[in-house]
Amino acid sequence: MICKNEVCNDRKAKIHQITHHPYFGFFIITFLMLMVQLLRVIGVPISITLLRAFGITMIYIIVALGFSILLGYAGLASLGTAGFVGIGTYLLGYFTKNFGLSIFLVIVISILGAIVIGGIVGFISLRIEGMYLAIITLGLSEILNEVFKNAVSITNGTNGLGLNGILVIFKNPVVVNHNTIFIATAIIMFFMMVLTLNIIKSPTGRAFLAMRNSTSAAQAMGISILKYRLLAFVVSTVYAMLAGVIYMSYISFSIPTTWSLAFSLNILAAVIVGGSQSIYGIVLGTFMIFGLNLGVLQQFSFFQNNPAISVVFNGLLIILVIMFYPGGLIRLVNTTYHKLKKIVLKLMTKWRVYRYGSDN
Amino acid sequence: MFDTTGFWRDIILSVGILFIIYTLLKIFVFKRFKNKDRAKEVGLNIALVLGIMYLFLRIYILIDFNLPDVIPAGNFMLSNILNQTLQVSVLALATTGIVLIFKTSTTTNFAQGIIATFGAFVAAKLIQNFTLNYTEMSVTTAVVLSMIAAAITAFIIGIFVDSVIIRNSKDKTPVGKQMITMGLVLVLSGAMPLIFGKILLPIPKLSYAPNIQFTFLGANLSITVHAFYALIITVVLLTILFTALRFTKWGLGVRATASNELVASMMGVNTKIITAMSWAIAGFLGAVAAVLLTPNATNVSVGLMTPTQVNAFMAAILGSFSSFLGPLVATVLIPVLTGLLSLVVPLWQNAVVYLIILAIVLVKPMGLFGKKVAKKV
């Protein structure tokens, strides 16, 4: 189709404007997620496990986004993610069961708590760096795990804490439908992606990047290490605890064994495999690590009978990506896309030459 | 049984007192020193030693206060420390492996525990075979033979990991290598049930002889023979390793690689072989540790070494990665403290120990025995 008049050009420009908007990709991802839910409501046979897998993956995408700000931008390696997500889940469980608080209030409480905890970890990160920080945060996560196991009056110990339903308004127990929470999760994920993009593209994000490359150079340029390290940890902890609250409202069950070292390592793997500096990369990585196993492989009876094989597959994927594509899978996707584009353009010029004859 | 709230109040009080002592020292004593950094370090060390001594004393008093008059608390503490012998030796082996790899490859090896567990699976399979086919073989021989097999398996896996996977990887940053070891954790933990199937028999102890009884400082103490043998094996292995590090050409190469890999390779040290060997030796030590530890767990399982792995990281941090002997002191401190605290604050002992380590590392970021490394800008 070749445009000749003004109206057509205008329309083309508008479409270009929409498709090249920075939020367009996020919108598409959210839309696809919502479509899965919608199709199921209409009556397309999508199994509940597949839907659950998508829901959990979305929640983990939120965690991974927070972690990518920490690792990919601020350059701080932390292995305490699991503990923070766990705190979020138990906050919702405890406050709903014992005080009958509404979920919105719990979210506010968890954000306040996250600011405090993130601040503490941030202060620790001022003194300890690199691998040492990773191991210290691992120790912190282990402490939190011990608390989850032993503070029986709050967390119900190793039996796990169950929840009958969340409260939307005070003292008004409403058992919210899981479908509603799925939709809410998708919308929250969209806003978290937008927030992440805005943080990354703002002066704060550039300060993070400067700090990651060289703390001394960043300080010389007038960037306060204290402020931005604290901020990085606070942001990532807020993401993690918010994801914890959503997880609890969606799954309605939280058990200490979930919030172990393996979870933190898997989040780290998702961020590294996808590409730690790209939001699409993180989405891709989280789907590869969590979604592929939960959603796709578990659908086949072969993998259901041998759950170990999917674990091996995940591990091999991580090793291969790091061995051959250190920038993450998103770089592989981008390079293949550009190569394909080049080939298509070449073929089109050839076809034009064949159709209309060459210029000379 | 014990007054827990008193313990918590005490910890807060003691930290406060230490802080006040440190401030007073800083104001009145260290001003006179000429070298301020050195003075600060000495002050910190004095405060730390006082703090750890106070902690042990406090636990002693708590135990003494709550015991019937017949048993002296000293005996109780000593026997508790002896009960931790097996844990100490296992932790020492695992930690040495981790520190060795950190020094030569500058990465934290998350796969240390899982490689060791792989060895333990091999050992369990072999022992199953021995008990079925060679009934006249004694338990000790079977365990020792399978332990050697396990150690050799882990040795080969270690070489494979370094020379095939890490050397060919494009991402050679510490985080990249760390991720590779994480991937290995997933691969091996998935592969083990597939390869070995279900293992019904546990690994037996090295010996089921009655406990060794002896008197020390007027206290009747006893130690299991298994723990005693484990201690001997650990001491022998670590002595050989440290002697080799100190006196052989290979040890010199390891130390050179540890201080600077690039310069070492320029000076003619074959750093490839050095790193591969350190991975192999770490696997070897880990597998021995796993086989020694298994009889205390009920059966061989994939998560066998996970707690040891976490504790080993903690010990390496506490004792500092930059020395070999520092982590060994930490490996003694951590299980002993855990054992004692389990009497005072049951269930919370691990959390308290991690908190103490966290506090110490916050005060001394390079660990108890680490030296500050000047960073180039």
CB of A150 within 8 Å of any CB in chain B?
yes
Distance CA B17, CA B200 (A): 54
Beta A167-169 vs A172-173: how paired, if at all? Answer: antiparallel
The residues near A254 (Cβ < 8 Å, ≥ 6 apart) are A86, A89, A90, A93, A155, A160, A161, A247, A248
CB of A265 within 8 Å of any CB in chain B?
yes
One-letter amino acid at B312 equals A
* Contact across the interface for B186 and A314, Cβ inside 8 Å: yes
The closest CB to that of B184, out of A124, A146, A319, belongs to: A319
The closest CB to that of A322, out of B171, B192, B306, belongs to: B171
Work out the number of other CB atoms within 10 angstroms of the CB of residue B349: 18
Give yes or no for a contact between A185 and A247, defined as CB atoms under 8 angstroms apart.
no
The closest CB to that of A319, out of B183, B316, B361, belongs to: B183
* Contact across the interface for A136 and B179, Cβ inside 8 Å: no
Q: Give backbone dihedrals phi and psi of B337, rounded to 5 degrees, phi first.
A: -60, -45
Average pLDDT over residues B259-284: 90
Nearest-CA distance from B95 to chain A in Å? 14
pLDDT tens-digit profile of B247-261? 999 889 988 888 888
The closest CB to that of A136, out of B186, B347, B361, belongs to: B361
A chain contacts of residue B346, beta-carbon cutoff 8 Å: none
The closest CB to that of A322, out of B180, B188, B362, belongs to: B180
What is the structure's pLDDT at A275?
85
Strand partners, A172: A169
Work out the number of other CB atoms within 10 angstroms of the CB of residue A241: 30
**Helix %, strand %, coil % for chain B, to 5?**
75, 5, 25
* Contact across the interface for B194 and A311, Cβ inside 8 Å: no
Q: Is the pLDDT of residue B331 over 70?
A: yes
CB of A59 within 8 Å of any CB in chain B?
no
What is the structure's pLDDT at B212?
78
Q: Is the pLDDT of residue B376 over 70?
A: no
B chain contacts of residue A261, beta-carbon cutoff 8 Å: 306, 310
Distance CA B244, CA B109 (A): 22
User: B47 is written with which tokens?
Assistant: 């405060």
Give yes or no for a contact between A137 and A79, defined as CB atoms under 8 angstroms apart.
yes
Q: Is the pLDDT of residue B41 over 80?
A: no
User: A314 is written with which tokens?
Assistant: 């995940």
Residue in the block written with tokens 């070897």: B284
pLDDT tens-digit profile of A138-188? 889 989 998 998 888 888 888 888 887 777 766 666 677 788 889 999 999
The closest CB to that of A139, out of B174, B189, B314, belongs to: B314
What is the structure's pLDDT at B1?
44
User: B30 is written with which tokens?
Assistant: 């260290």
User: B284 is written with which tokens?
Assistant: 């070897």
In Å, what is the CA distance from B201 to each residue of B36, B121, B196, B206? Answer: 61, 11, 13, 15
Average pLDDT, chain A: 87
Within chain A, which residues score under 50 in pLDDT? none
Give yes or no for a contact between A285 and A328, defined as CB atoms under 8 angstroms apart.
yes
The residues near B99 (Cβ < 8 Å, ≥ 6 apart) are B316, B321, B324, B327
Cβ–Cβ pairs < 8 A, chains A and B? 134
B chain contacts of residue A276, beta-carbon cutoff 8 Å: none
**Binning pLDDT at 50, 70 and 90, where does residue B297 land?**
low
Distance CA A157, CA A281 (A): 36
What DSSP letter does each residue of A165-178 carry, written as one string? --EEETTEE----H
Report the length, in residues, of chain B: 377
Strand partners, B216: B219
CB of A115 within 8 Å of any CB in chain B?
no
Average pLDDT over residues B350-365: 86
Phi-psi region of A43 (alpha: psi -120 to 50; beta: other; left: phi over 0): left
Higher pLDDT, B18 or A229: A229
A chain contacts of residue B107, beta-carbon cutoff 8 Å: 131
Distance CA B65, CA B13 (A): 19
A chain contacts of residue B189, beta-carbon cutoff 8 Å: 311, 315
A chain contacts of residue B322, beta-carbon cutoff 8 Å: none
* Contact across the interface for A268 and B357, Cβ inside 8 Å: no
Average pLDDT over residues B66-73: 67
* Contact across the interface for B317 and A132, Cβ inside 8 Å: yes
Q: Which of A121, A124, A141, A146 to mutate to test binding with chain B, by most B CBs within 10 Å of its CB?
A: A146
B chain contacts of residue A312, beta-carbon cutoff 8 Å: 186-187, 190-191, 194
A189: enclosing H helix or E strand: helix A178-201
Q: Which residue of B has its CA nearest to A217?
A: B377
CB of A347 within 8 Å of any CB in chain B?
no
* Contact across the interface for B365 and A127, Cβ inside 8 Å: yes
CB of A312 within 8 Å of any CB in chain B?
yes
Measure the CA dihedral A311/A312/A318/A319, to 10°: 160
Domain A26-327, classified CATH 1.10.3470, yes or no = yes
Residue in the block written with tokens 């080939």: A343
What is the structure's pLDDT at A170?
62
A chain contacts of residue B178, beta-carbon cutoff 8 Å: 131, 134
B135: enclosing H helix or E strand: none
CB of A269 within 8 Å of any CB in chain B?
yes
Q: Which residue of B has its CA nearest to A309?
A: B190
* Contact across the interface for A132 and B365, Cβ inside 8 Å: yes
Q: Is the pLDDT of residue B228 over 70?
A: yes
B chain contacts of residue A313, beta-carbon cutoff 8 Å: 190
One-letter amino acid at B296 equals N
Average pLDDT over residues B10-15: 74
- What is the reported pTM? 0.86
* Contact across the interface for A311 and B313, Cβ inside 8 Å: no
**Binning pLDDT at 50, 70 and 90, where does residue B236 land?**
very high
Q: Which residue of A has its CA nearest to B102?
A: A131
In Å, what is the CA distance from B243 to each residue of B97, B183, B235, B276, B327? Answer: 16, 34, 12, 19, 17
pLDDT tens-digit profile of B169-223? 887 888 788 888 888 988 998 888 888 877 777 778 877 777 777 777 666 778 8
pLDDT tens-digit profile of B96-111? 999 999 988 888 888 9
Average pLDDT over residues B3-17: 70
* Contact across the interface for B180 and A326, Cβ inside 8 Å: no
What is the structure's pLDDT at B70?
64
* Contact across the interface for A310 and B310, Cβ inside 8 Å: no
Q: Which residue of B has its CA nearest to A136?
A: B358
* Contact across the interface for B175 and A216, Cβ inside 8 Å: no
Q: Which residue of B has its CA nearest to A132?
A: B317
What is the structure's pLDDT at A174?
67
The closest CB to that of B190, out of A128, A268, A311, belongs to: A311
What whole-number percentage of chain B has pLDDT above 70? 90
